[in-house]
Amino acid sequence: MIDVLIYGIGGKMGANVLSALKDADGIRAVCGVDKFSPDTVKVPVYESAQNAHEHVDVLIDFSRPDALEDILAFAQKSGCALVLATTGYSAAQQEKIVAMSTKVPVFQASNFSLGVNLLIDLAKRAANVLGLAYDVEIVEAHHNMKVDAPSGTAVTIAKEVAAQYEGGKKFVYGRHEDNKRREVQEMGIHSIRGGTIVGKHDVMFIGKDEVITISHEAQSRMIFAVGAVRAAKYVAGKPAGKYDMSMMLSE
């Protein structure tokens, strides 16, 4: 049995992960970390991971970047694997994550949806086929409570697609600052925030007289929770190192 600590268990994603774990075989939630504990949570909840005394094989994190220090300290102490689903980390924080991956297995992804990762693969193929004759623009939309913009998923898509072009691409976030024509090497990334949109990503390849759009829309947060649980089962017992969705899906 794989024992899991859910970091951010009191939030919406925490509730979804808890539900996904109940439906999965060979894995269970043993405790969680959050500032509050809903009545529906039937496992111990602590304000800090340092207070947890249960045996933990994997920590699944759906919280905020400012929780990283507590998470890394717990991984250092317990030796548990990490599944990091939080986005918006700074460059310095990302360096700490990479450093921790030399000590414990760290599975990190900006999006745990199978569909989004298929979108990335299709977009990379499209970039290779269409080349510079088509301009690339990425539009992402999320709920009005999301803090980081652009989304971590949009940044991942942009980096993966840009890598298909010789010399890469220059990322342009919106077009309100410069009044000039679009340059060939640019890739536009645009963010929309409003209402309760779970997550929508469009990759547009815009050529002469036609537009090809590869699109994914999440209709429930549960798809991310199920993906994170799958990642937890995959990374549990793995040697120290950095793991991601492409590695898991290829196996």
As annotated, the active-site residues are 142, 146
Alpha carbon separation from 59 to 98, 179, 212, 231 (Å, rounded): 16, 47, 39, 11
Whether the Cβ atoms of residue 65 and residue 11 lie closer than 8 Å to each other: no
Cis bond upstream, residue 44 (ω within 30): no
Q: What's the maximum distance between 2 C-alpha atoms anywhere in the chain?
A: 62
C-alpha to C-alpha distance for 4 and 17, rounded to whole angstroms: 10
Whether the Cβ atoms of residue 201 and residue 157 lie closer than 8 Å to each other: yes
**Using alpha carbons only, how large is the chain's radius of gyration in Å?**
19
Alpha carbon separation from 64 to 13, 93, 141 (Å, rounded): 12, 12, 19
- Starting at the edge strand found earlier in the chain, the sheet holding 135-142 runs 170-173, 186-193, 135-142, 199-207, 210-218
